[in-house]
Amino acid sequence: MKRWRTVLVGAGVRGSTHLKGVLENKDRYQVAGLCDLDIKKTNILKEKYKLSVPVYEDAETMLRECKPEVLIFVTHPDVRLEMVKLAAKYQVQAVSMEKPMAQSLAEACEIKKICEENHMKAVVCHQQKYLKQMQEMKRRIVAGEIGEIKKIHVETQPWMAQLGTHYVDYALWAAGGQRAKWVIGHAHGRAELGDSHPSPDFLEGEMLLENGVRVYLECGYLSESHHPEEYADIDNRITVYGTRGYVWAETDGYWGAFTSQTQGELLTGKEPGWYHHQEKQIQTPYYTEFADWLDDDKKIHSCNVEISYHGYEILEGMCLSALNHVRVDFPIAKLDYEPVLTRMKKEFPDIGTKPRILYDGKEPREEYD
Ligand SMILES: NC(=O)c1ccc[n+]([C@@H]2O[C@H](COP(=O)([O-])OP(=O)(O)OC[C@H]3O[C@@H](n4cnc5c(N)ncnc54)[C@H](O)[C@@H]3O)[C@@H](O)[C@H]2O)c1
């Protein structure tokens, strides 16, 4: 079996998780180099996984010297396009990046275009699909337990660029790979526009999928908290309603099912959830699926750049709808407008919301007014 020559940029929290996922597919990948602006972090990873590979502070030097076939970059959202351009320059065959895929739709579009023009396969890390409760939700849907899908409701306490980007993707996935025809949206709140994952504090939108299913999405502090006592940083839920029942799943492991197979009962339960899976690795099947796609063009990865771009376009469409007071139809063809995040910074009134510190599971959560 071919082992793909692979390098990693970004040796932070998620970089370590990605590397573990690659190493747990050792017959599919061969790690050739590690890079971080902070060389101490690469050395820590090298030591942690007992690797004898060169380490770099500069991604371009690594690409030039290591000549990888696969580039994984696990950086913050402001470092995406430059990595994709580098990958194309050094004729990398495939890239794997974290979410959100960009900071504007124009940038996301350029990333997709560079990948297409250079025949580079690309994935964006919406990997929570591999969580057991998500797989089980999907299994019940595919088995027809809820009948024909009618509506999907997405709620994420973390804001658009944190978990909204994940859950719009999971809504499309749950609906069977559908595309949206149009969206409408509302957005407000300036506090998270200054975050490393800039977003309005709250975004709410509705979309119509091509198969007639409606999706309602809420991301940010006004969405319902299902478990306020725990996991404030990942509190979320996707609920899929059909003609014969409904199912839901959450990142933190909770799930529910009221279907044609549950004998009139609402079944609920909890899988180990996100923090457990950080160790037990949902990143491993993610990289198995990536290698399968690299080996066989027909086995397209479920987190491919094309569907990720559409997810980004949907969130952008909701923001545009909120700013311009119009319905937004897809595809969004003209991208030469002022970026929505720039406009929100200028146009949104200060309503006194405060930033929260999320995403490490330890920091206390600041209250909103
Ligand atoms: N998919 C998920 O479930 C999930 C979960 C958490 C975070 N994330 C995403 O993962 C990404 C990274 O998050 P993190 O928590 O690992 O961040 P982090 O700050 O811990 O790590 C990022 C690393 O990238 C390095 N870096 C930045 N620019 C670089 C460059 N040009 N060259 C080399 N190194 C560079 C930084 O020095 C840093 O060490 C974010 O986009 C975040 O949204 C995804």
User: Could you report the per-residue pLDDT of 51-100, keeping only the tens digit for each?
Assistant: 999 999 999 999 999 999 999 999 999 999 999 999 999 999 999 999 99
Is there an atom of ligand 1 within 6 Å of 79 CB? yes
Find out whether the peptide bond into 100 is cis, omega within 30 degrees of 0: yes
Nearest CA to ligand 1 atom 33: 36
Substitution site in 7, 98, 234 for ligand 1 pocket (most atoms within 8 Å of beta carbon): 98
Looking at the chain, which residues constitute the CATH 3.40.50.720 domain(s)? 4-127+280-303
**For residue 339, is the peptide bond before it cis, meaning its omega torsion is within 30 degrees of 0?**
no
pLDDT at 368: 43
Query: Are the beta carbons of 359 and 12 closer than 8 angstroms?
Result: no
- Closest residue by Cα to atom 26, ligand 1, is 10
10 lines ligand 1 (CB under 6 A): yes
Handedness of CA 120, 70, 106, 331 (dihedral sign): positive
3-state secondary structure the chain: CCCEEEEEECCCHHHHHHHHHHHCCCCCEEEEEEECCCHHHHHHHHHHCCCCCCEECCHHHHHHHHCCCEEEECCCCCCCHHHHHHHHHCCCCEEEECCCCCCCHHHHHHHHHHHHHCCCEEEECCHHHHCHHHHHHHHHHHCCCCCCEEEEEEEECCCHHHHHHHHHHHHHHHCCCCCEEEEEEEEECCHHHHCCCCCCCEEEEEEEECCCCEEEEEEECCCCCCCCCCCCCCCEEEEEEECCEEEEECCCCEEEEECCCCCCCCEEEECCCHHHHHHHCCHHHHHHHHHHHHHCCCCCCCCEHHHHHHHHHHHHHHHHHHHHCCCEECCCCCCCCCCHHHHHHHHCCCCCCCCCCCCCCCCCCCCCC
pLDDT tens-digit map of 106-161: 999 999 999 999 999 999 999 999 999 999 999 999 999 999 999 999 999 999 99
pLDDT at 195: 87
Which protein residue's CA is at the shortest distance from atom 15 of ligand 1?
13
Cite the residue boundaries of each domain of the chain with CATH code 3.30.360.10.
Answer: 129-275+304-369
Residues 142 and 148: their CA atoms lie apart, in Å, by 10
Q: How far is the CA of 272 from the centre of ligand 1 (A)?
A: 24
CATH 3.30.450.40: does it fit domain 129-275+304-369?
Answer: no
Fold of 4-127+280-303: Rossmann fold (3.40.50)
Counting as low any pLDDT under 50, the low residues of the chain are 359-369
Which ligand 1 atom is nearest residue 77's CA?
A: 41
- Which atom of ligand 1 is closest in space to residue 11's alpha carbon? 39
pTM (two decimals): 0.94
* Per-residue pLDDT, 356: 67
Q: Is the CB of 127 under 6 A from ligand 1?
A: yes
Q: Which atom of ligand 1 is nearest to the CA of 17?
A: 16
